[in-house]
Structure 1
Amino acid sequence: MKYPAVLGVDDVLPMLDQFDTIIDARSESEFALDRIPGAINCPTLDDAQRVLVGTTYKQVGAFEAKKIGAPLVAQNIARYIETLFADKPKDWKPLVYCWRGGNRSGSMALIFAKIGWPVVQLDGGYKAYRAYVAAALENPPLLDFRVICGTTGSGKSRLLETLESIGAQVLDLERLAAHRGSVLGHLPGEPQPSQKMFETRIWDKLRRFDPSKPVFVESESKKVGNLRVPEAVMERMRASPCIALQLGRPLRVQLLMEDYHHFCADPSALNAQLDHLVQLHGRARIETWQEMANTGRMPELVDQLLVEHYDPAYLRSIDRNFVQYPKAETLALPGISKDDFVAAARHLHG
């Protein structure tokens, strides 16, 4: 094969794991929004340089813009070779891409090939990759989903984590979305990814699953925080067999106190989230709950939220959205210790 080899997504993505390094040559802001899984960012033009070159292109012309951009691209690529890639052997096989597979990745791929590395450049770049992922999520693989259902605080997320730790296949949408899936589910200090990044994470998980083995997933709603679960994936989940996880309410309160301990330390953050429930419960009820938070009555508050908000909402939606829930296998947890979840996971995983 002649290098740099320019290959399309249909050739590249099935062998994505065979590349030694995946290099995203776009700017840092483009990379932050979404990228091919496992990619590292080596901008041939950073954000400020792109603005400079783009402004010159619009105000002066393409020739002058290229004269400014070319030395910047050369300097950046040289720096990466001297620092990141100086120790790479002759058979090091990188994949390089940019927005459309044009000048930015082409320049890097050409220099790599001149050095002697068997570099592959992604034809169509990130834009072609994104179209591939979007199409793949419209027709996801036929997987044997097993949906973990249960009221808020029943330990669904902990069970998924435990299942994964013992080798089961798990699609943890809340973890991929960096959100616990409820009005109080924002994770402190961890912003949610972009919608495109969320979809990339889902696609990357789905492509790695063995279709002959079950995939455990939680009974999510269509949105996890601000992010939407792809519709076709949601439809597959909602048509799948269910497992009804059961845990006594006092233990659910205890589990939620552990999982949401940050609200105990900062009641103002909890109260800001409770404001979103005014339309459902009225200002008077919300102010009562906020006063409980301010005076340290957190267990009582959590219990009331379960009884008056979360449990009714769950019972209204579960039968309607998950058609096999009436036939669900019941799995009762005796406690919330690590051993309790390991025993439950082993029962499901076999």
Structure 2
Amino acid sequence: MSEKLPKGVATVAQLAEFDTLIDARAPAEFAEDHLPGAISMPVLNDEERARVGTLYKQVSVFEAKKLGAALVAKNVARHIEQHMLDKPKSWRPLVYCWRGGQRSGAFSHILREIGWDAHRIQGGYKSWRQHVIEQLALLPPQVKFRVVTGATGSGKSRLLEALAARGGQVLHLEELAAHKGSVLGNLPGQPQPAQKGFETQLFAALSALDLTQPVFVEAESRKIGRLQVPDALLDAIRGAPGLRIDAPLPARVDFLLRDYDYAIADPAWLIERLGHLKGLQSNETLERWSLLIAARDFPALVEELLTQHYDPLYQRSQTANYDSFAAATRYATDRLDAAALDRLAAEILATSA
């Protein structure tokens, strides 16, 4: 028999029953990770939370609670005035904090006293986080992954986008990670999410899939930038059947010059990023690449990067880590522009089941 919940308390399994999901934690907590669709309405901001915590540790619990109550009351009043005065009596908000305790309890209590059917999440964000971890272990083995492989510069990520545009199911890990998965993969003006936030996005994406249909995903290494792909997901991808894009070197060079136009536009940043290859490439090679950047001979630079660094690295990695690499169905193309990738997507969808 399931445990009966106290009045005004809900579980993470009941999220769909509510109209609005309110995150009552501090902004820094919300920025690291939050439930999908949640709205940030902190009952204590970052500075206030630190003040109350310091008082709790250095003075007394009673003094901390007095200050906390005053700040919470002020902040909840502001949220009600700014965001809730137009809500009908039938509105059902669901509030959560870190553990589902005092912050969400105070907020939801006030809303219930007004007359709304407000609830707080049992266990708060911690229960959600545990749910995400459990599901990221359970969901990946159920997915019919089809792994897109191919040498660096083969347009794998753009092919995923073309597949999605034609109605294919796609798990775009690099998009979720805000990183292209290489030493030059940092996206300008777009920081990577926190690991917890990345995992929440992964869970949301996996939960939305039709498990009876194939899902296309790019062959990735264990880390995408500074983010780690969960073990169960990585294992499921590495054991899945694959397809390989075969494109000639000139086409890959041309593609990368377009796809990494932001790197070419910032030579200083490009030199700094290539410096991370020190130890993997000789000082003489790195110096030559710097001279090519200074001369703006980017086609020669990209060709050398592919033939001397990325191609050997990719071959070793794929052969060692992906069961399907050698037997992958091959799709040849002489070009990697949008039209060519769309044609490949159509061909792949027609032959995949």
Q: Shorter chain as normaliser: what TM range?
A: over 0.9
Alignment partner of 2:326: what SS?
Answer: helix
Q: Deviations over 1:20-60 (max 9, x none)?
A: 22111000111111111111111000011111111221222
Aligned residues: 346
How far the C-alpha of 1:251 sits from its partner, in A, is 1.4
In structure 2, how many angstroms separate the alpha carbons of the residues matched to 1:63 and 1:194? 34
Give the counterpart letter for 2:279 in structure 1.
Answer: Q
| 3-state SS of 1:327 partner | coil
- The answer to whether structure 1 residue 316 and structure 2 residue 319 are counterparts is no
1:273 aligns with: 273
Question: TM-score when scaled to structure 2?
Answer: 0.94
Q: Write the mapping of 1:30-41 to structure 2, written as runs, cut at 5 A.
A: 30-41=29-40
- In structure 2, the residue matched to 1:230 is 230
**Map 1:87-98 → 2, pairs under 5 A:** 87-98=86-97
2:60, 2:247 → 1: CA distance?
A: 67
Q: Is the 8 A contact 1:4 1:110 kept in 2?
A: no
- Structure 2 stretches of 5 or more lacking a match? none
The residue number in structure 2 matching 1:57 is 56
| AA at the equivalent of 1:112 | L
1:62-111 Cα offsets, whole Å, 9 max, x none, are 11211111121111111111111222222222221000000101111111
CA distance in 1: counterparts of 2:79 and 2:296, whole angstroms: 53
**Mapped contact 2:195–2:228 kept (Cα < 8 A):** yes
1:337 Cα offset (Å): 2.9
| 1:287 counterpart SS class | helix
Structure 2 distance, partners of 1:295, 1:93, is: 62
Could you list the per-position Cα deviations for residues 110-161 of structure 1 after superposition, in whole angstroms to 9, with x for gaps in the alignment? Answer: 1122222222211111111111211222232401000000111101000111
Q: Secondary structure at the match of 2:279?
A: helix
Q: Is the 8 A contact 2:251 2:334 kept in 1?
A: no
Q: Residue 298 of structure 1 aligns with which residue?
A: 298
Aligned equivalent of 2:207: 207
Q: Contact 1:153/1:252 (CA < 8 Å) preserved in 2?
A: yes
SS of 1:159's equivalent in the other structure is: helix
Letter in 2 for 1:47: D
What is the alpha-carbon distance in structure 1 between the residues aligned to residue 229 and residue 250 of structure 2? Answer: 31
- How far apart are residue 217 of structure 1 and its match? 0.3
Structure 1 residue ranges without an equivalent (≥5): none
Moved more, 22-31 or 323-332: 323-332
- Cα distance in structure 1, aligned partners of 2:19 and 2:349: 33
Q: 1:87 & 1:160 partners in 2: Cα distance?
A: 42
- Spell out the pairing of 1:106-117 with structure 2 (5 A cutoff): 106-117=105-116
2:127 alignment partner in structure 1: 128
Does structure 2 retain, via aligned residues, the 8 Å contact 1:152–1:311? yes
What's 1:157 paired with? 157
Give a deviation string over 1:299-321, Cα, whole Å, max 9, x none.
Answer: 11001101111111111121221
Which stretch shifts more, 237-246 or 90-99?
90-99
**Does the 8 Å CA contact 1:168/1:349 hold for their aligned counterparts?**
yes
Tell me which of 3, 6, 10 is aligned to 1:7.
Answer: 10
SS where residue 74 of structure 2 aligns? helix
The secondary structure found in structure 2 opposite 1:221 is: coil
Report what 2:336 is aligned to: 336
Residue number in structure 2 paired with 1:263: 263
**Kindly tell me: are residues 3 and 119 of structure 1, through their superposed partners in 2, closer, same or farther at Cα, counting changes over 3 Å?**
farther
- Which residue type is aligned with residue 89 of structure 1? P
Residue 245 of structure 1: aligned partner: 245
Identity over the aligned pairs, expressed in percent? Answer: 47
**Contact between 1:3 and 1:118, CA under 8 Å: does it hold in 2?**
no
Query: Quick one: distance in 2 between partners of 1:118 and 1:162?
Result: 44
SS in 2 for 1:152: coil
Shift of the 188–126 alpha-carbon distance from structure 1 to 2, 3 Å rule, reads: same
Partner amino acid, structure 1, of 2:8? A
Write the deviation string for residues 286-309 of structure 1: whole angstroms up to 9, x where unpaired: 010011111101111001101111
Question: Secondary structure, in 3 states, of the residue corresponding to 1:45?
Answer: coil
Q: Matched residues in 2 for 1:154 and 1:187: separation?
A: 19
Residues in 2 aligned to 1:205 and 1:189: alpha-carbon distance in whole angstroms: 24
Q: What is the CA-CA distance between 1:2 and the residue it aligns to?
A: 9.9
Matched letter for residue 165 of structure 2: S
Instruction: For 2:197 and 2:46, locate their aligned partners in 1 and report how far apart those are by CA, in whole Å.
Output: 20
| SS of equivalent to 1:325 | coil
Contact 2:246 2:331 in 1 (8 A): yes
1:8 partner letter? T
The worse-fitting range, judged by mean Cα deviation, of 55-64 and 75-84 is 55-64
